[in-house]
């Protein structure tokens, strides 16, 4: 199905046609994969899905909403739990970079961030999503605090922010291929500091 969306797909009456929704989602992914964010338009998605634009607008009020949905459909990256905060953070970043690099996720998220720069709604949705992720990453720190590995007065949110920032910037500047050493060094500075002992 999907892109190949049944040539003559029809309305199934007075309720949402899940075939159409699927076809649209899959078309959106395909367009993003093949033409990138530059070629990603509602128009292009509609063409590819053999759907009318209003059908898309009915269910996703903006490009951003569609991006969010297809991003969330991707399977998520796992946060390791090694018992060591440095390994946890570095491992998380390595997984995240690999995930962004090897699946459409990276492109999708990148697009979403770009979209949020000119679309209020996208910005809101992204902010909400970021808040969630922040607390998620923060859990790595909280666990370490519970273990006594990390100082109790450390603000987990700010650390999560630093980690997420590092990831974002690499995503946005196309540097997801960075070697592990750099990631480990960056994480090391956050955990152990850069001052002379």
- The burial of 51, by beta-carbon neighbours within 10 Å (0-12 exposed, 13-18 middle, 19 or more buried), is given as buried
- Reference 146, options 158, 154, 157; nearest CA is 154
Collapsing DSSP states into helix, strand and coil, what is residue 84? coil
Task: Kindly give, in sequence order, each residue whose CB lies less than 8 Å from that of residue 118, ignoring residues fewer than 6 positions away.
Answer: none
List the single partner that 30 binds among DNA, a second copy, none, CB under 5 to 8 Å by kind.
none
Residue closer to DNA by CB (options 57, 168) is 57
- Reference 65, options 49, 36, 46, 42; nearest CA is 42
List the single partner that 117 binds among DNA, a second copy, none, CB under 5 to 8 Å by kind.
a second copy
Per-residue x/- track, 98-137, a second copy (CB under 8 A): ------------xx-xx-xxxx---x--xx--x-------
53 binds DNA (CB under 7 A): yes
Give the C-alpha separation, 38 to 138, whole Å.
33
Collapsing DSSP states into helix, strand and coil, what is residue 185? helix
Pick from 11, 82, 135, 165 the residue near DNA by CB under 7 A: 11
List the single partner that 193 binds among DNA, a second copy, none, CB under 5 to 8 Å by kind.
a second copy
DSSP, res 153: T
Residue 131 Cβ vs DNA, minimum distance, rounded to whole Å = 25
Residue ranges in 170-189 that form contacts with a second copy under rule CB under 8 A: 170, 172-174, 182, 185-186, 189
44 binds DNA (CB under 7 A): yes
Pick from 2, 3, 22, 59 the residue near DNA by CB under 7 A: 59
Q: How many CA atoms lie within 13 A of 91 on its CB side?
A: 12
Q: Which residues here bind DNA, judged by CB under 7 A? A: 5, 9-17, 19-21, 23, 39, 41-44, 49-55, 57-59, 62-63
């Amino acid at each position: 199905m999907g892109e190949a969306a049944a040539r003559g797909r029809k309305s199934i009456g007075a309720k949402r046609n899940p075939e159409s929704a699927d076809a649209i989602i899959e078309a959106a992914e395909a367009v993003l994969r093949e033409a990138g964010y530059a070629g990603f338009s509602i128009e292009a998605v509609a063409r590819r899905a053999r759907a009318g634009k209003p059908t898309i607008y009915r269910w996703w009020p903006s490009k951003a909403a569609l991006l969010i949905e297809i991003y969330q459909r991707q399977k998520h990256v796992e946060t390791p739990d090694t018992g060591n905060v440095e390994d946890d953070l570095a491992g998380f970043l390595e997984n995240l970079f690999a995930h962004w690099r090897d699946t459409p996720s990276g492109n999708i998220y990148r697009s979403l961030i770009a979209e949020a720069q000119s679309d209020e709604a996208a910005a809101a949705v992204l902010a909400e999503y970021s808040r969630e992720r922040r607390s998620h990453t923060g859990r790595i720190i909280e666990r370490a605090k519970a273990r006594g590995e990390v100082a109790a007065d450390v603000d987990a949110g700010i650390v999560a922010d630093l980690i997420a920032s590092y990831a974002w910037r690499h995503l946005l500047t196309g540097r997801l291929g960075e070697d592990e050493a750099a990631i480990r060094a960056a994480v090391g500075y956050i955990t152990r500091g850069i001052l002379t002992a």
